[in-house]
């Protein structure tokens, strides 16, 4: 369905737009949060401004194309991303004094389910190379460490954040890290970077990120 409305250019909008939806859903589910925001109007306006700046910058960096039809096609993935982040926040908040245990349990359950799904896909699709190839094992271990570290830090951030949209906004910055990585690799190889970097967008993105961290 998404291919009819722009394909990758359309799906690029899912994560940034889910940040805004998560912010609104959180306030809708927990109205007391709205009272806290109205008590500090200046801070609230700045937070909304920072979130908007991050969403706008990421959409421009990823060159995401959206339309009314595309937004309808994206509605289910958007809702899914937002509900997942809200449930993640609730799970960590209920961890309370046992937050480390909650983080470990969350990582274990998530890894177990993802592992089963990956095993199903692996067994279903015919392979020409062995799973126990030394190169795959090394890369797999490295990836596992990165994923577990990412999940652990994300869950801790969800515990401390007043709104899960703040964490979602930081996670949505991955296009910036990809661009930075490609730029560094090109520089190390003494090759020109083939992509286009908009310095203005980078400045807006970094400024909004710093502002969001300070304000939250």
Note the pLDDT tens digit of each residue in 78-134: 888 889 899 999 988 888 778 888 888 888 888 888 888 888 887 887 766 666 777
Q: What is the pLDDT of residue 46?
A: 92
Please state the pTM of the whole predicted model: 0.78
3-state DSSP assignment of residue 109? helix
List the pLDDT tens digit at each of the 216 positions of the chain.
444 444 445 555 677 888 888 999 999 998 888 888 889 889 999 999 999 988 888 877 776 555 566 667 677 878 888 898 999 999 888 887 788 888 888 888 888 888 888 888 878 877 666 667 777 788 888 888 888 888 889 899 999 988 999 998 888 887 777 777 777 888 788 877 776 777 788 888 888 888 888 887
Angle at 115 between CA 112 and CA 118, to 5 degrees: 155
Residue 70 has a pLDDT of 62
> Would you state the pLDDT for residue 49?
92
pLDDT at 137: 81
In sequence order, the 6+-apart residues with CB closer than 8 A to the CB of 12 are 59, 62, 63, 64
Phi-psi region of 190 (alpha: psi -120 to 50; beta: other; left: phi over 0): left
- For residue 63, is it left (φ>0), alpha (ψ between -120 and 50) or beta? left
Contact partners, residue 91, CB within 8 Å, separation at least 6: 102, 106, 158
Domain locations in the chain as residue ranges: 2-215
Whether residue 57 contacts residue 208, with contact meaning beta carbons closer than 8 Å, is answered with: yes
């Amino acid at each position: 369905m998404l291919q009819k409305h722009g394909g990758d250019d359309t799906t690029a909008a899912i994560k940034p737009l889910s940040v805004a939806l998560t912010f609104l859903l959180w306030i809708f589910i927990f109205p007391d949060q709205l009272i806290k925001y109205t008590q500090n109007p200046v801070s609230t306006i700045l937070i909304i401004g920072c979130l908007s700046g991050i969403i706008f910058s990421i959409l421009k960096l990823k060159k995401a194309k959206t339309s009314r039809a595309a937004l309808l096609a994206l509605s289910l993935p958007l809702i899914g991303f937002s509900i997942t982040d809200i449930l993640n926040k609730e799970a960590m908040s209920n961890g309370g004094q046992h937050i480390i245990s909650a983080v470990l349990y969350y990582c274990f359950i998530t890894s177990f389910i993802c592992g089963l799904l990956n095993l199903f896909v692996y067994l279903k699709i015919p392979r020409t190379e062995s799973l126990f190839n030394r190169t795959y094992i090394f890369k797999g271990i490295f990836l596992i460490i990165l994923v577990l570290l990412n999940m652990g830090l994300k869950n801790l951030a969800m515990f401390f954040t007043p709104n899960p949209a703040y964490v979602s906004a930081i996670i949505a910055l991955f296009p910036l890290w990809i661009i930075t990585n490609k730029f560094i690799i090109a520089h190390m190889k003494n090759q020109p970077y083939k992509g286009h970097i908009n310095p203005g967008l980078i400045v807006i993105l970094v400024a909004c990120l710093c502002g969001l961290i300070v304000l939250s």
